[in-house]
């Protein structure tokens, strides 16, 4: 895959989606199969409704969101209304990328995607932070 920033332009929604899909495809088994069942959606920013539900004021504070039922809580009796989805928010990701000069865009998109997919596997934010202290 080529670098989406190669021409000095911000990467498009599709280019962020391509980076995320490549990161998901690179997951080791046994995670790759179940992760492929999760849809990846890329939008510029989180919707006002998402922000209200999460009690977040600025859309730039949210780079990604898992929307679904974690595998640890699913039942064969569940009739999902929509597929489990990882939302990635391009402009918030790009803002964080600019702030973290030492991190590549691919690394950041991969980090956000894996963090959100970890929620699909039933991990809490504390569980994830215990093995991935990204803020350091």
The total number of structural domains that make up the chain: 1
pLDDT tens sequence across 52-99: 999 999 999 999 999 988 888 877 776 667 789 999 999 999 999 999
Neighbours of 38 (CB within 10 A): 20
Q: Is position 75 within any domain?
A: no
Q: Is position 33 within any domain?
A: yes
Do the strands 85-89 and 64-67 form a parallel or antiparallel pair, or are they unpaired?
antiparallel
Q: Is position 18 within any domain?
A: yes
- Per the structure, the complete domain to which residue 110 belongs is given by 13-70+81-131
Please state the pTM of the whole predicted model. 0.84
CATH number (domain holding residue 106): 3.30.2010.20
């Amino acid at each position: 895959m080529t670098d989406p920033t190669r021409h000095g332009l911000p990467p498009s929604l599709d280019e962020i989606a391509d980076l995320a899909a490549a990161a998901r495809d690179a997951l080791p088994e046994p995670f790759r199969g179940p992760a492929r069942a999760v849809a990846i959606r890329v939008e510029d920013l989180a919707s006002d409704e998402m922000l209200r539900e999460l009690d977040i004021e600025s859309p730039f504070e949210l780079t990604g969101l898992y929307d679904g039922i974690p595998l640890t809580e699913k039942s064969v009796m569940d009739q999902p209304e929509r597929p489990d989805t990882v939302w990635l928010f391009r402009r918030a990701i790009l803002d964080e990328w600019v702030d973290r000069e030492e991190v590549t865009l691919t690394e950041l998109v991969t980090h956000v995607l894996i963090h959100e997919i970890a929620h699909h596997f039933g991990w809490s934010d504390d569980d994830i932070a215990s093995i991935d202290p990204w803020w350091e």
